[in-house]
Amino acid sequence: MAKQKRQEILRPVSNLFIASSVLAALLLNALPWEGIWLVLRPDFVAVVLLYWCTHKPHRLGIGLSWVVGILSDVNDASLFGQHALSYTVLAFGGIVLSRRIRMFDLREQTTQVFLILLATYSVYAVVHWQVNGQLAWSYFLGCLTSTLLWIPASSLFQSVRQLRVDRE
Amino acid sequence: MEGTQTFQVFNRGPSPAARLVFFAVLSLLLMFVDARFRYLESTRSLLSELVYPIQRLATLPNVLWQQTAGFFVSHQNLLEENKVLHRQHETDMAQLVQWQAMLHENQQLRTLLALQQRSQFNVQFAEIVYAERDVFRRKVLINKGSAANIQEGRVVMDDKGIVGQVTRVYPWLSEVTLITEKDHAVPVQVQRNGLRSIAFGSGDTSHLALRYMPVSADIVKGDVLVTSGVDGIYPPGIPVARVELIERDPAYPFARIVCKPLGGVDEHRFLMVLSTIPALPARPETMPPPAKQKAKGAH
C-alpha cells in the first residue's frame, strides 16, 4: 500500500492552492473554444471542484461550489443558477462519496467519478431542456471527456502536493 | 487529516443533504427569477466585473497570437497593398490626365462657340482625325469632307486665329494645310498701321516669316498681324501671328521678320471651318496675278 503511505504524508493544502486551481479551471473553461472542441471540452471547473470535494470536503463544500457555479454562470453567460445547481449536485456527490472514492485507486475512481459527472451534466442538460425546450445530447460528450480528465487532473494535483512535501 | 473526523462532526453545520437542498432551491429560485423577470442583470454585471480578468486572460493568448501573426503577415500584405495602390494610382493618374485634357477641350469648345456667335460668317466645327507623320508636311486631316459641304480653299481657324486652309477634300475628310507649311502664304496686314505683307510658313510649326519687307518697314516687335482679305480667300481681320523677332541688316534688302502664329496651329483637336465667304468680284483676266496674292501654298 505505497499509495496509502504517500497519501498520509501529503500536507494539508493551502487555501491559495485551492483558489488558484479553481481560478485556473475557470480560465480554461473561458478559453475561446469553438465548434467540435466546444462540444468535447471537458468541464475543468467540475473536475477540479470534484477533486477538492472528494479530497478536502471540509475546505471546499457545497456552498463554495455553488459560488463557483454562479461565477461560471456569469462566465458562460448561461442562466443564473444553472451551473450553480449542477455544481451543487456535483459537490454533494463528491462529499457523499468522498471516503469511498479515496479508497479506490485512480482507475477505479473513474467509474465513480463518471456517475457523479453524469449526474452533474444531467442536471445541466435538464435545465437547458426546460428553458430551451430541447435536450442537448452534446453535453454528454463533455461528460465523457471530463471523466477522462479525472486521472490526469488528480494525479497532477497529487504530484503537486507531493512536491510541496518534498521541498521541506 | 480527513480520516479523523470524529470531533469535527459537531462543528460541521448542516448535513450535506440539507446543504444540497438549500443550494438547489436557491439555484432554482435564481433560475426562475432570471428566466422570468430578468431582475438579476445588475447582479450579473457586478459579478462579471469579477470574472472579467479571467475572461481577459483566457482570450489573451489568442490576441497575442493575432498580433504576432499580424506583425509578420502584414509586411507581405503591405507590400501587396502598396502594389495595388500604385497600380490604382497609375490608372487614376491616366484618367486624371484625360480629364484635364477634356477640361481644356471643353474650355476651347466654349470659346469657339462664343467666337461663332461673334463672327459674321458661318462656321462648321470639325475635329482633327489624323496628322501627317511627315515632319516637313504640316497638314492635318479633319473629319468633315465634301459630304459636309466643305470645299477647297476654306479657311480653318481656332478660337485665337487662323490655323490653315482646306487644300483637298475627300467625301468624309478634308486635308488642311497649316499656315506654317513651308511656302504657304497668308496675306496679312499689321493691325496697328495696316501695313500689308505676306506671311509665309517656315515648315516649323512655331514660326512664320514675313518676306520681302524692306528694312525700313514700320513694323515692331509685338505687332499683331491680321488677315488683310485682299485675296478673297481669307476673310479680313482674323488674327494670324504676332511679330517675335526683327533683324534689320543693311547688307540685305529685306528685313528678316519672324512671327509666331496666334492660332493653336498644332495644339487643339477642334477647329472651325469658315463656310461662306462673300465672293469677291472676279479678277480681270488681263491683269497678271501678282505673286504676292497667291494665297494657296504649294504642296
Mean pLDDT value of segment A57-74: 87
Helix residue spans in B37-166 (DSSP H): 41-118
Question: Rounded to two decimals, what is the model's pTM?
Answer: 0.49
Q: Is the ipTM of this complex over 0.95?
A: no
Tell me the nearest-neighbour CA distance from A19 into chain B, angstroms.
13
Choose among B23, B31, B61: nearest Cβ to A79: B31
Q: What is the pLDDT of residue B290?
A: 58
Within 13 A of A99's CA, how many CA atoms are on the CB side? 6
Query: What is the DSSP code (8-state) at residue A1?
Result: -
Asked if A81's CB is within 8 angstroms of B34's CB, the reply is yes
Is A54 a residue whose pLDDT tops 50? yes
Question: Is residue B30 within 8 Å of B44, Cβ to Cβ?
Answer: no
Cα A101 to Cα A107: distance, rounded to the nearest angstrom: 11
- The residue of chain A with its CA nearest to that of B45 is A74
- The residue of chain B with its CA nearest to that of A83 is B27
Asked if B8's CB is within 8 angstroms of A74's CB, the reply is no
Closest CA to B155 of B9, B295, B13: B295
Region of A81 (left: φ > 0; alpha: ψ -120 to 50; beta: rest) is: left
Name the average pLDDT for chain B.
79
> Residues B287, B291, B292, B298: what is their CA dihedral angle, to the nearest 10 degrees?
130
If contacts are CB pairs under 8 Å, which of residues 166-225 in chain B contact chain A? none
Which of A23-37, B129-143, B245-259, B273-287 has maximum average pLDDT? B245-259
Cα B260 to Cα B208: distance, rounded to the nearest angstrom: 6
CB-based contact (8 Å) between B16 and chain A? yes
- The residue of chain A with its CA nearest to that of B4 is A99
Cell numbers 459674321: residue: B120
All residues at 6 or more sequence positions from A155 whose CB lies less than 8 Å from its CB, including other chains: A106
- For B9-39, write each residue's pLDDT tens digit: 556 677 888 888 888 898 888 888 887 777 7
CB-based contact (8 Å) between B54 and chain A? yes
Q: Which residues make beta-bridge pairs with B243?
A: B259
Q: Could you list the beta-strand ranges (E) of chain B.
A: 123-131, 139-142, 155-157, 162-169, 174-178, 185-190, 196-201, 208-210, 224-227, 239-247, 256-261, 270-274
Tell me the nearest-neighbour CA distance from B74 into chain A, angstroms.
24
- The residue of chain B with its CA nearest to that of A32 is B59
Q: Supply the angle between the helices A62-76 and A15-30 in degrees, to the nearest 10.
A: 30
Question: Is residue B188 within 8 Å of B225, Cβ to Cβ?
Answer: yes
Asked if A30's CB is within 8 angstroms of B16's CB, the reply is no
Choosing among A80, A89, A95, which should be mutated to test the B contact, i.e. which has the most B CBs within 10 A?
Answer: A80
Chain A contact set for B16 (CB, 8 A) = 61-62, 92, 95-96
Mean pLDDT value of segment B166-184: 85
Is B247 a residue whose pLDDT tops 80? yes
Q: Count of CB atoms within 10 A of residue B152's CB?
A: 13
CB-based contact (8 Å) between B48 and chain A? yes
At B52, list the grid cell: 472579467
Asked if A63's CB is within 8 angstroms of B50's CB, the reply is no
- The residue of chain A with its CA nearest to that of B53 is A27
Choosing among B31, B39, B44, which should be mutated to test the A contact, i.e. which has the most A CBs within 10 A?
Answer: B31
